[in-house]
Amino acid sequence: MQAATFNPTQTSLVPRLLIGLAVALTLLIVVAPLVYIFARAFGEGWRVYAENLLNPATLHAVWLTTITALIVVPVNIAFGISAAWVVARFRFPGRSLLVTAIEIPFSISPIIAGICYLLLYGRQGLLGPWLADNDLQVMFALPGIVLVTMFVTAPFVAREVLPLMQAQGSDQEQAAVTLGASGWQVFRRVTLPNIKWALLYGAVLCTARAVGEFGGVSVVSGNIRGQTNTLPLHVELLFNDLNATGAFAAASVLTLLALVALVAKTVLEARKAR
């Protein structure tokens, strides 16, 4: 019995100190700024808060961020499942390279992604003249914002689903085909239920990131107020306008979205662990 050898005063003092330190730091670094956001947002009362939120530019930013997430997350789910499936079920040359490639967006600063897309699709970029000739606007418009957000969030679903698929192996899927199931039936009734919680977990993380993305999007959006400003960009814009209450009101929406995602993530984590 190792526990018996511990000095009783030590066991009560050291953990208490560490717990106290952890709580204090969390309050100071994480909770206090969050509380401050809401305190400032509501600082001049409900009426001013509502006015700031209902400002057309702010509403447009909320709408743009929502649209972006609604496009990015489903694409990401489809990409994540396919990538995980290919890597987990097949052996092919370049397989480990593909795994590394999927993770690139995690290690690269989002602003680099933004600049890469600008160099590729921008007016002076590689595809710029062709896009201009065909009257396609990618940069400083929704397509650019969506593309960069997709790049930044690409690994989230794949990374959650892949280890699970690898751990489970393909026995159940093989059993299903021997029972006469078609490819789609196997996916729908065997593969998908087995990865369900990990998939939702990845989707929540992906949504949170898509909604909050700043650096990459700031390069390709052009910051046109009421047109190409996503919510995070709009917060910065309001802040630079010295409209602190407006900035904090917009920030409170973002924060709320993040908190919802956090709760969903915690619930899903518990289900996933089962």
Partner 1 sequence: MHIEIDEIAKTFGTTAALHPVSLSLPSGALVALLGPSGSGKTTLLRILGGLEFPTSGRVLFDGQDATGLSVQERRAGFVFQSYALFRHMTVFDNIAYGLNARPRASRPNKVEVARRVTRLLDLIQLPDIGARYPSQLSGGQRQRVALARALAIEPRMLLLDEPFGALDAKVRKELRQGLRDIHDETGLTTVFVTHDQDEAMELADLVVVMSGSQSGGRIEQIGKPQDIRSKPASAFVREFIAA
The residues binding partner 1 (CB under 8 A) are 169, 171-172, 174-182, 185, 189-190, 193-194
CB of 34 to partner 1, least distance (A): 37
137 vs 182, beta carbon nearer partner 1 = 182
39 vs 179, beta carbon nearer partner 1 = 179
186 vs 217, beta carbon nearer partner 1 = 186
Other C-beta atoms closer than 10 Å to the C-beta of 24 total 10
CB of 270 to partner 1, least distance (A): 17
CB of 196 to partner 1, least distance (A): 8
Angle, helix 244-273 to helix 231-240, in steps of 10 degrees: 150
The DSSP code sequence of 129-187 is: HHHHHTT---TTSHHHHHHHHHHHHTHHHHHHHHHHHHHH-SHHHHHHHHTT--HHHHI
Structure tokens at 200: 């939702």
162 vs 190, beta carbon nearer partner 1 = 190
d(CA 8, CA 210): 49
CB of 242 to partner 1, least distance (A): 55
Q: CA distances (Å), 28 to each of 23, 39, 261, in order?
A: 9, 15, 22
Other C-beta atoms closer than 10 Å to the C-beta of 142 total 17
Q: CA distances (Å), 211 to each of 99, 217, 222, 227, 242, in order?
A: 25, 11, 18, 17, 23
Q: Are 216 and 14 in contact (CB under 8 A)?
A: no
11 vs 174, beta carbon nearer partner 1 = 174
CB of 187 to partner 1, least distance (A): 12
161 vs 261, beta carbon nearer partner 1 = 161
Q: How many angstroms separate the most distant Cα atoms in the chain?
A: 79
CB of 167 to partner 1, least distance (A): 12
